[in-house]
Amino acid sequence: MIDIKIIPVLEDNYCYVITDINTQISAIIDPGDSAPIIGAVKKMGIQPRFIINTHFHWDHTDGNLAVKEAFDCKIVGPAAEADKIPGIDVTLADGQIFTLGNTKIKAVETPGHTLGHICLWIESEAVLFSGDTLFSMATGRLFEGTAEQMFQSLSWIKSLPPQTQIYFGHEYTMENAEFSLTVEPDNLALQKRYKDVCATIKSGGFTSPVSLQTELETNLMLNAQSAEAYGTLRAAKDNYD
Protein backbone atom coordinates (compact mmCIF):
# COMPACT_ATOMS: atom_id res chain seq x y z
CA MET A 1 0.00 0.00 0.00
CA ILE A 2 1.05 3.59 -0.59
CA ASP A 3 0.40 6.99 0.88
CA ILE A 4 0.38 10.03 -1.42
CA LYS A 5 0.64 13.63 -0.31
CA ILE A 6 0.27 16.67 -2.56
CA ILE A 7 2.50 19.74 -2.33
CA PRO A 8 1.46 22.66 -4.56
CA VAL A 9 4.47 24.65 -5.80
CA LEU A 10 5.20 27.55 -8.12
CA GLU A 11 2.11 29.08 -9.72
CA ASP A 12 0.19 25.92 -10.53
CA ASN A 13 2.48 22.86 -10.27
CA TYR A 14 1.82 19.74 -8.26
CA CYS A 15 4.62 17.88 -6.50
CA TYR A 16 3.83 14.53 -4.91
CA VAL A 17 5.35 12.65 -1.99
CA ILE A 18 4.73 8.93 -2.23
CA THR A 19 5.46 6.53 0.62
CA ASP A 20 5.41 2.76 0.66
CA ILE A 21 3.49 2.19 3.89
CA ASN A 22 5.03 -1.16 4.83
CA THR A 23 8.63 0.00 4.57
CA GLN A 24 8.16 3.77 5.03
CA ILE A 25 10.42 4.40 2.02
CA SER A 26 9.44 7.61 0.24
CA ALA A 27 10.04 9.43 -3.02
CA ILE A 28 9.33 12.97 -4.18
CA ILE A 29 7.88 13.26 -7.68
CA ASP A 30 8.69 16.32 -9.80
CA PRO A 31 10.12 18.83 -7.29
CA GLY A 32 9.77 22.06 -9.23
CA ASP A 33 10.74 24.34 -6.33
CA SER A 34 12.96 23.29 -3.46
CA ALA A 35 12.08 25.59 -0.54
CA PRO A 36 8.36 24.76 -0.10
CA ILE A 37 9.03 21.08 -0.73
CA ILE A 38 11.85 20.80 1.80
CA GLY A 39 9.75 22.63 4.36
CA ALA A 40 6.65 20.53 3.77
CA VAL A 41 8.52 17.21 3.75
CA LYS A 42 10.33 18.03 7.00
CA LYS A 43 7.03 19.01 8.58
CA MET A 44 5.62 15.63 7.50
CA GLY A 45 8.52 13.91 9.27
CA ILE A 46 9.48 12.10 6.07
CA GLN A 47 13.04 11.26 5.02
CA PRO A 48 12.76 10.61 1.27
CA ARG A 49 15.26 8.33 -0.40
CA PHE A 50 14.45 9.25 -3.97
CA ILE A 51 13.39 12.02 -6.31
CA ILE A 52 11.60 10.88 -9.46
CA ASN A 53 11.24 13.15 -12.49
CA THR A 54 8.69 12.51 -15.22
CA HIS A 55 10.50 14.81 -17.68
CA PHE A 56 13.22 17.41 -17.84
CA HIS A 57 11.31 20.72 -17.83
CA TRP A 58 12.58 23.19 -15.26
CA ASP A 59 9.27 23.45 -13.40
CA HIS A 60 9.55 19.74 -12.58
CA THR A 61 13.30 19.57 -11.88
CA ASP A 62 14.44 22.94 -10.49
CA GLY A 63 14.31 21.61 -6.94
CA ASN A 64 16.33 18.50 -7.71
CA LEU A 65 19.76 19.50 -6.44
CA ALA A 66 18.68 21.33 -3.29
CA VAL A 67 16.22 18.61 -2.31
CA LYS A 68 18.85 15.96 -3.02
CA GLU A 69 21.31 17.75 -0.76
CA ALA A 70 18.74 18.30 2.00
CA PHE A 71 17.74 14.65 2.23
CA ASP A 72 20.71 12.81 0.69
CA CYS A 73 18.47 11.08 -1.82
CA LYS A 74 19.00 9.70 -5.32
CA ILE A 75 17.45 11.23 -8.42
CA VAL A 76 15.60 8.94 -10.82
CA GLY A 77 14.41 9.98 -14.29
CA PRO A 78 13.76 9.01 -17.90
CA ALA A 79 16.75 7.48 -19.64
CA ALA A 80 15.99 9.39 -22.85
CA GLU A 81 16.36 12.72 -21.03
CA ALA A 82 19.18 11.84 -18.63
CA ASP A 83 21.50 14.50 -20.03
CA LYS A 84 18.91 17.21 -19.28
CA ILE A 85 17.96 16.27 -15.71
CA PRO A 86 20.03 17.87 -12.91
CA GLY A 87 21.76 15.42 -10.59
CA ILE A 88 20.30 12.24 -12.07
CA ASP A 89 21.60 8.98 -10.56
CA VAL A 90 19.25 6.30 -11.89
CA THR A 91 17.69 6.13 -15.36
CA LEU A 92 14.43 4.43 -16.30
CA ALA A 93 13.81 3.07 -19.78
CA ASP A 94 10.40 2.29 -21.22
CA GLY A 95 8.81 -0.60 -19.33
CA GLN A 96 11.43 -0.65 -16.59
CA ILE A 97 10.31 -1.31 -13.02
CA PHE A 98 11.52 0.88 -10.17
CA THR A 99 10.99 -0.55 -6.69
CA LEU A 100 10.05 1.80 -3.87
CA GLY A 101 10.06 -0.40 -0.80
CA ASN A 102 7.48 -3.07 -1.65
CA THR A 103 5.83 -0.95 -4.34
CA LYS A 104 6.60 -1.57 -7.99
CA ILE A 105 6.51 1.51 -10.21
CA LYS A 106 6.58 0.99 -13.96
CA ALA A 107 8.05 3.68 -16.19
CA VAL A 108 6.14 4.02 -19.45
CA GLU A 109 7.41 6.33 -22.17
CA THR A 110 4.65 8.70 -23.27
CA PRO A 111 6.19 10.99 -25.89
CA GLY A 112 4.30 14.09 -26.91
CA HIS A 113 4.91 16.86 -24.40
CA THR A 114 8.60 15.95 -24.55
CA LEU A 115 10.13 13.10 -26.49
CA GLY A 116 11.42 11.24 -23.43
CA HIS A 117 8.55 11.89 -21.02
CA ILE A 118 7.59 8.98 -18.77
CA CYS A 119 4.44 8.26 -16.81
CA LEU A 120 4.70 6.29 -13.57
CA TRP A 121 2.22 3.41 -13.36
CA ILE A 122 1.58 1.59 -10.07
CA GLU A 123 -0.60 -1.31 -11.11
CA SER A 124 -1.12 -2.71 -7.61
CA GLU A 125 -2.72 0.56 -6.53
CA ALA A 126 -4.26 1.59 -9.87
CA VAL A 127 -2.39 4.90 -9.62
CA LEU A 128 -0.82 6.85 -12.47
CA PHE A 129 1.48 9.84 -12.18
CA SER A 130 0.98 11.41 -15.59
CA GLY A 131 3.32 14.41 -15.34
CA ASP A 132 2.52 16.73 -18.23
CA THR A 133 1.21 14.06 -20.58
CA LEU A 134 -2.35 14.08 -19.29
CA PHE A 135 -4.03 16.82 -17.29
CA SER A 136 -7.58 16.79 -16.07
CA MET A 137 -9.78 17.68 -19.07
CA ALA A 138 -6.84 18.22 -21.45
CA THR A 139 -3.27 17.17 -22.24
CA GLY A 140 0.11 18.80 -22.19
CA ARG A 141 1.28 20.95 -25.07
CA LEU A 142 3.23 19.32 -27.89
CA PHE A 143 6.56 21.00 -27.23
CA GLU A 144 8.68 18.24 -28.81
CA GLY A 145 6.46 15.41 -29.96
CA THR A 146 3.79 15.09 -32.64
CA ALA A 147 0.04 14.72 -32.40
CA GLU A 148 0.45 11.11 -33.52
CA GLN A 149 2.91 10.38 -30.72
CA MET A 150 0.66 11.95 -28.10
CA PHE A 151 -2.37 10.15 -29.51
CA GLN A 152 -0.56 6.83 -29.04
CA SER A 153 0.49 7.82 -25.51
CA LEU A 154 -3.11 8.67 -24.67
CA SER A 155 -4.29 5.39 -26.16
CA TRP A 156 -2.15 3.55 -23.62
CA ILE A 157 -3.60 5.60 -20.77
CA LYS A 158 -7.12 4.86 -22.01
CA SER A 159 -6.35 1.14 -21.76
CA LEU A 160 -5.81 1.35 -17.99
CA PRO A 161 -8.56 0.35 -15.54
CA PRO A 162 -11.27 3.02 -15.35
CA GLN A 163 -10.86 3.28 -11.57
CA THR A 164 -7.25 4.42 -12.03
CA GLN A 165 -6.47 7.54 -10.02
CA ILE A 166 -4.48 10.02 -12.09
CA TYR A 167 -2.12 12.47 -10.40
CA PHE A 168 -1.15 15.13 -12.92
CA GLY A 169 1.46 17.88 -13.05
CA HIS A 170 -0.51 21.15 -13.13
CA GLU A 171 -3.71 22.67 -11.79
CA TYR A 172 -5.17 23.70 -15.14
CA THR A 173 -8.56 22.06 -14.71
CA MET A 174 -10.80 25.12 -14.57
CA GLU A 175 -9.23 26.63 -17.68
CA ASN A 176 -9.45 23.25 -19.42
CA ALA A 177 -13.13 22.98 -18.52
CA GLU A 178 -13.82 26.48 -19.81
CA PHE A 179 -12.11 25.65 -23.10
CA SER A 180 -13.99 22.37 -23.42
CA LEU A 181 -17.30 24.19 -23.09
CA THR A 182 -16.38 26.45 -26.01
CA VAL A 183 -16.07 23.28 -28.11
CA GLU A 184 -19.18 21.49 -26.79
CA PRO A 185 -21.32 24.07 -24.98
CA ASP A 186 -24.36 21.78 -24.78
CA ASN A 187 -22.47 18.84 -23.27
CA LEU A 188 -24.23 18.19 -19.95
CA ALA A 189 -21.34 16.15 -18.54
CA LEU A 190 -18.96 19.05 -19.21
CA GLN A 191 -21.37 21.54 -17.64
CA LYS A 192 -21.61 19.47 -14.48
CA ARG A 193 -17.87 18.92 -14.34
CA TYR A 194 -17.24 22.64 -14.70
CA LYS A 195 -19.50 23.36 -11.73
CA ASP A 196 -17.77 20.69 -9.65
CA VAL A 197 -14.33 22.04 -10.55
CA CYS A 198 -15.34 25.61 -9.69
CA ALA A 199 -16.60 24.45 -6.29
CA THR A 200 -13.39 22.53 -5.59
CA ILE A 201 -11.14 25.44 -6.53
CA LYS A 202 -13.27 27.96 -4.62
CA SER A 203 -12.98 25.84 -1.47
CA GLY A 204 -9.18 25.72 -1.80
CA GLY A 205 -9.09 22.07 -2.81
CA PHE A 206 -7.14 20.22 -5.49
CA THR A 207 -8.62 18.66 -8.62
CA SER A 208 -5.84 16.05 -8.52
CA PRO A 209 -6.25 13.13 -8.40
CA VAL A 210 -9.01 12.37 -10.87
CA SER A 211 -10.30 8.99 -11.96
CA LEU A 212 -9.71 7.78 -15.49
CA GLN A 213 -13.45 7.14 -15.69
CA THR A 214 -14.14 10.82 -15.07
CA GLU A 215 -11.62 11.77 -17.75
CA LEU A 216 -13.17 9.35 -20.21
CA GLU A 217 -16.46 11.14 -19.64
CA THR A 218 -15.19 14.75 -19.79
CA ASN A 219 -11.75 15.02 -21.44
CA LEU A 220 -12.28 15.85 -25.11
CA MET A 221 -8.62 15.40 -26.03
CA LEU A 222 -8.42 12.00 -24.39
CA ASN A 223 -11.50 10.95 -26.34
CA ALA A 224 -10.30 12.16 -29.74
CA GLN A 225 -10.88 9.40 -32.29
CA SER A 226 -7.76 10.06 -34.36
CA ALA A 227 -4.41 11.77 -34.15
CA GLU A 228 -5.69 14.42 -36.55
CA ALA A 229 -8.74 15.13 -34.38
CA TYR A 230 -6.53 15.29 -31.29
CA GLY A 231 -4.11 17.66 -33.01
CA THR A 232 -6.96 19.97 -34.00
CA LEU A 233 -8.19 20.16 -30.41
CA ARG A 234 -4.71 20.71 -29.01
CA ALA A 235 -4.05 23.50 -31.50
CA ALA A 236 -7.37 25.13 -30.61
CA LYS A 237 -6.44 24.99 -26.93
CA ASP A 238 -3.05 26.54 -27.70
CA ASN A 239 -4.83 29.46 -29.38
CA TYR A 240 -7.33 29.69 -26.52
CA ASP A 241 -4.48 30.06 -24.03
pLDDT band at 108; cut points 50, 70, 90: very high
The answer on pLDDT for 241 being more than 90 is: no
Average pLDDT, integer, range 135-147: 98
Compute the average pLDDT of residues 155-166. 98
Task: Say which DSSP state 159 is in.
Answer: T
Number of residues written out for the chain:
241
Task: Work out the average pLDDT over 16-29.
Answer: 98
- On the question of a cis peptide bond just before residue 162, with omega within 30 degrees of 0, the verdict is no
Across the chain, mean pLDDT equals: 97
Phi, psi at 63, each rounded to 5°? -85, -5
Q: Check residue 228 and give its pLDDT.
A: 98
**Distances, alpha carbon 202 to alpha carbons 178, 195, 198, in Å:** 15, 11, 6
Domains and CATH numbers, the chain: 2-240 (3.60.15.10)
Percent of the chain with pLDDT over 70: 100
DSSP-assigned states of every residue in 27-83: EEE----HHHHHHHHHHHT----EEE-SS--HHHHTTHHHHHHHHT-EEEEEGGGGG
Q: What is the DSSP letter of 170?
A: B
pLDDT beyond 90 at 9 = yes
Q: What is the pLDDT of residues 47-97, one digit of tens each?
A: 999 999 999 999 999 999 999 999 999 999 999 999 999 999 999 999 999
